[in-house]
Amino acid sequence: MVLTLVVALLFGIVAGIRTFMAPAIYFLVRGPLWAGIVLAVLAVAELIGDKLPFTPARTGPLPLAGRVLSGALVGWFVGAPVGLAVACILLGIAGALIGTYGGYALRMKAIPSTGRIQSALAEDATAIILGIVAVTR
């Protein structure tokens, strides 16, 4: 039970860092595969788009809503089969907010010492690693 809640929170954090990454990883491993492939293509596009100078801030209303929705959906997918849907949805949302604002703060702090692109790539790697950890639990 506790592990399911932690997994929902981790997936939420991933969704907060990269909107499409959490559902892409979830579906690539747990199926249906076609959904995972579609979401993986969107996740790759997001990884590229995130590095562009005209990409809107993740904390704006629309990007934030997408991240929160992504976290909630993956939380539901994780929790519903074991009767923890509501708790996992809430943890997915909380994780998405943590990932959004925490990821942004850490990235801004890293930019002066590592550079804009390098800090973005480190954030991408963090999302991928957390997603892999979550889906293998």
Residue range 89-112, pLDDT digits in tens: 999 999 999 999 999 999 999 999
Q: Which of 126, 97, 95, 122 is nearest to 108 (CA)?
A: 122
Mean pLDDT (the chain, rounded) = 95
Where are the domains positioned within the chain? 2-131
Complete DSSP assignment for 50-116? TTSTTPPPTTSHHHHHHHHHHHHHHHHHHHGGGT-HHHHHHHHHHHHHHHHHHHHHHHHHHHHHH-H
What's the confidence (pLDDT) of residue 137? 86
Residue 81 banded pLDDT, cuts 50, 70, 90: very high
- In the chain, the amino acid numbered 49 is G
Q: Is 74 exposed, middle or buried (CB count within 10 Å of its CB: 0-12, 13-18, 19+)?
A: buried
**How many Å is the maximal CA-CA distance in the chain?**
45
Q: What is the DSSP letter of 136?
A: T
Task: Determine contact, residues 64/100, Cβ cutoff 8 Å.
Answer: yes
> How many other CB atoms are found less than 10 A from the CB of residue 121?
15
Residue range 10-55, pLDDT digits in tens: 999 999 999 999 999 999 999 999 999 999 999 999 999 988 888 8
What's the confidence (pLDDT) of residue 55? 87
